[in-house]
Amino acid sequence: MNKLERDERLIRLALLAVSFSAVSVLAVVTVFIFSEGVPIIFKYGFRSFLAGMNWYPSEKSFGLLPMIAGSLMVTLGALIIGVPFGLSCAVFLTEFSSKRLRRTIKPAIELLAGIPSVVYGFMGVVLLVPFIRRTFGGPGFSVLAASIILGIMILPTIISITIDSLLAVPPAYREGSIALGATRWQTTKMVLFPAARSGIVASIILGMGRAIGETMAVIMVAGNAVAVPGSLISPVRTLTSNIALEMGYASGEHRQALFATGVILFVIIMVLNTIANLTSSRKKV
């Protein structure tokens, strides 16, 4: 009896320690990024970081605007490509296909999520970039290439969460709508989408988070020029690429400026995550 109680307490303590270690990693990362990055932001001023157009670390000019614009453009592009595809696919699989077809296609789509990003990047360099160069001109390394690659990469996130939220809509809604004479598409459009809205929005925001945080595949296909892209076929650099590209040789204030890049990225992703959490928790009400 005593022994069992003791074991129980030990296991509880051990599990508690493990869960806290996960949280403490987050704390360490946060503290580290902010303590390294925030001082330089204050030294040169918030505006020169957020609104500066020039990134010349060797001349002490640390404008991140081209990279912020780059991240947003590429992410928006990924959503424009990924969302319609993802939602159509999810609707087809839940509403218009047989259960058997869904059971084969859904795992295949989830497998997409398991492909390492460097492989997407490599495919992009070998197939997509030359294709864009031949078809649209320019160097090929471009906003368009990065958007397409990211659009494909966020598909699994969007599809699987949307499928789950469509399936979570009570069957009575669906049956009621059909019984009133609505077609399947009318039912989907007017009943299921509104009912599953919060889940769908959450899937899009999580996809957005994945797109904005992706680094390797983007570095490989985006061209990484430090200018606000003038067109879809211009090269572009994202915040994540900026850190990964330059950390190798960066020292002193250059290094701190890369941490400052991390701070801005961190804030953007935190905001996205919070929005995602809020919208998905509203679902239960």
Partner 1 sequence: MSERRPVWFLIAVSFIVSLFSCSRGSTQNEIIVAGSTSVQPFADRWAEAFVKGRAGCFVNVQGGGSSAGIQAAKSGAADIGTSSRELKADEKDLKEIVVARDGLAIIVHPVNPLRGLRLTEVKQIFSGEIPSWSYLGGPDEAITVVTREEGSGTRGAFQELVMGKSRISKRAIVEDSNGTVREIVAGDSNAIGYISLGLVDNRVRALELEGVKASEESILEGRYRLVRPFLFVTKGELVGMARDFVDFVLSPEGQDMIRKEGLLAAR
Residue type, 281: S
Which of 39, 52, 138, 213 forms a contact with partner 1 (CB under 8 A)? 138
Least separation in angstroms between CB 249 and partner 1: 4
Q: Does 124 bind partner 1 (CB under 8 A)?
A: no
Using a 10 angstrom Cβ sphere, with 0-12 exposed, 13-18 middle and 19 or more buried, the burial of residue 269 is middle
Site track for partner 1 across 237-256, x = CB under 8 A? x------xxx-xxxxx-x--
Kindly state the tokens that stand for 35.
Answer: 């303590």
Q: How far is CA 152 from CA 70, 93, 131, 148, in A?
A: 18, 18, 17, 6
Residue type, 274: T
Least separation in angstroms between CB 116 and partner 1: 18
Given the rule CB under 8 A, which of 4-12, 27-35, 97-105, 123-131 is the region that contacts partner 1?
123-131
- CB-CB neighbours of 13 under 10 Å: 10
Q: Does 275 bind partner 1 (CB under 8 A)?
A: no
Q: How far is CA 247 from CA 28, 86, 120, 240, 260, in A?
A: 20, 35, 23, 11, 12
Q: Does 37 bind partner 1 (CB under 8 A)?
A: no
Q: Does 70 bind partner 1 (CB under 8 A)?
A: no
- CB-CB neighbours of 198 under 10 Å: 18
Q: Does 52 bind partner 1 (CB under 8 A)?
A: no
Residue type, 141: F
Given the rule CB under 8 A, which of 10-18, 103-111, 217-225, 276-284 is the region that contacts partner 1?
217-225
By beta-carbon proximity to partner 1, the closer residue of 102 and 133 is 133
Kindly state the tokens that stand for 152.
Answer: 């494909």
By beta-carbon proximity to partner 1, the closer residue of 182 and 227 is 227
Given the rule CB under 8 A, which of 94-102, 126-134, 180-188, 262-270 is the region that contacts partner 1?
126-134
Distance CA 239, CA 250 (A): 15
What is the 8-class DSSP label of residue 55?
A: E
Q: Does 134 bind partner 1 (CB under 8 A)?
A: no
List interacting residues with partner 1 (CB under 8 A).
Answer: 54-58, 66, 125, 129-130, 133, 137-141, 219, 223-227, 234-235, 237, 244-246, 248-252, 254
